Amino acid sequence: MAGIDSLASALGGSLSGKRILVRSDLNVPLDGTSITDDGRIRASIPTIRALVEAGARVIVAAHLGRPKGTPDPAYSLAPVAVRLGELLGAQVAFATDTVGESATEVVAALEDGQVAVLENVRFNRGETSKDEAERGAFADELAALADGYVSDGFGVVHRKQASVYDVAKRLPHAMGTLVATEIDVLRRLTVDPERPYAVVLGGSKVSDKLGVIDNLLEKADRLLIGGGMVFTFLKAQGHEVGKSLLEEDQLDVCRDYLQRAAESGVQILLPNDVVVDTAFPSGDRAPQPQVVAADAIPADALGLDIGPASSAAFAAALADARTVFWNGPMGVFEVDEFAAGTRAVAQALTQVEGLTVVGGGDSAAAVRQLGFDEAAFGHISTGGGASLEYLEGKELPGITVLDEG
């Protein structure tokens, strides 16, 4: 691992006995204290294991959820530390604070090749502060715990936060395996991708994907659009969308995208049928799905998935692709009656003879929840937002700081 090798050189030629702070992305979904999807923890293992094998004393920093800068037991990383230990096959120590007395004692007690997890960095206001002095003060305390720093939390590299950006300015640093792999894969999506190049976008809002659509209209051959965001496109074409999710302020933007695509020869594929219901799924009401034409959505209905004909059309549009990027489910995949479109897209990706990239977030969660073998996809990203910002052409602060020396 070149990144860690370069860090070893900066620290005198060996990592043995050195305290290495690793910023991982362990932001996993919890049901109480039970982890419902440990994909991000598993993705963090290769870098941590490499440091352990090099004899480093590994200090893992991460966040979970969005606490408001103060400790909140609902967002504790304690269950994550337990699961990390299970996956490593070794005891993992846990500090009940991030930079306080517990962290100091836990780090001081580490021996070569041992691992500790610090409590949620977002329990400290300085982590996400917009005030550089406040953020820097917290970064100083984190940096004081370590001799070197490894950035391996791809899901947060688009954030200018203390444990992502400021600590890297204070310690000898390197890029971890996970981040290096993510950047390499995303570069393949933006620099001379093998064609045909298809992009599948879903999720709830057009506004979440504006930048990536704008940028990929210049690079992709086909854009397949589903999920809640599709209804703004359908409305922009003049169709009734009933009670479906709609962003009125994005109608002109969608019309512009459709016109630009037509002028540049990029195919935008919208569903021609959708699965609707008269209410959003809830625990006290059984779903009542109905398939209707995309241009004939009843006024009292809302779209919750792409329909079977659209699923088949999307799969056909992906069949000959050599590069595919997918971000966002096609419907409410958590409910069986509205999961077929997302399942069809995932299945089609497993058949592609080329690079397939699942862009993190709900797409990655859907792959696992729907029971697909992760090995059937070329790459499953751990960072939905970071992936999108990279594909928009934005600078990622957590990456640029590593290049500053």
40 is in an annotated binding site: yes
Alpha-carbon dihedral angle through residues 247, 248, 253, 259, given to the nearest 10 degrees: 110
Query: Out of 205, 255, 322, 368, which one is annotated catalytic?
Result: 205
205 as an active site residue: the answer is yes
Strand ranges, E, within 79-118: 92-94, 115-117
Please choose, from the candidates 362, 356, 355, the residue with its C-alpha nearest in 3D space to the C-alpha of residue 384: 362
361 as an active site residue: the answer is yes
Which value, in Å, is the radius of gyration of the alpha carbons in the chain?
23
72 is in an annotated binding site: no
Query: Out of 17, 55, 385, 394, which one is annotated catalytic?
Result: 385
368 is in an annotated binding site: no
38 is in an annotated binding site: no
122 is in an annotated binding site: yes
322 is in an annotated binding site: no
Query: Out of 361, 383, 384, 398, which one is annotated catalytic?
Result: 361
158 is in an annotated binding site: no
42 is in an annotated binding site: no
159 is in an annotated binding site: yes
Query: Out of 18, 19, 23, 40, which one is annotated catalytic?
Result: 40
64 is in an annotated binding site: yes
Q: What is the DSSP letter of 166?
A: I
362 is in an annotated binding site: yes
255 is in an annotated binding site: no
b/e for 53-86, b at 16 or more Cβ within 10 A? ebebbbbbbbbbeebeeeeeeebbbebbbebbbe
- One-character DSSP codes across 111-130: -TT-EEE---GGGSGGGT-S
209 is in an annotated binding site: yes
403 is in an annotated binding site: no
Cβ-based neighbours of 229, under 8 Å, separated by 6 or more: 201, 202, 203, 204, 205, 206, 208, 209, 245, 247, 328
User: Looking at this protein, which amino acid is placed at residue 312?
Assistant: A
Task: Report whether 331 contacts 338 (CB < 8 A).
Answer: yes
Question: Can you read off the two tokens belonging to residue 85?
Answer: 């230990």
| Alpha helices for 330-372 (secondary structure H) | 340-350, 361-369
* Rounded (5°) CA angle 289-291-293: 145
303 is in an annotated binding site: yes
Please choose, from the candidates 283, 288, 297, 284, the residue with its C-alpha nearest in 3D space to the C-alpha of residue 338: 288
Q: Is 274 helix (H, G, I), strand (E, B) or coil?
A: strand
25 is in an annotated binding site: yes
155 as an active site residue: the answer is no
363 is in an annotated binding site: yes
23 as an active site residue: the answer is no
Cα separations in angstroms, 274 against 107, 246, 305, 318, 335: 55, 15, 6, 19, 15
Name the residues annotated as catalytic: 40, 205, 361, 385
Annotated binding site for ATP: 209, 303, 334, 360-363
Annotated binding site: 25-27, 40, 63-66, 122, 159, 209, 303, 334, 360-363
Annotated binding site for (2R)-3-phosphoglycerate: 40, 122, 159
Annotated binding site for substrate: 25-27, 40, 63-66, 122, 159
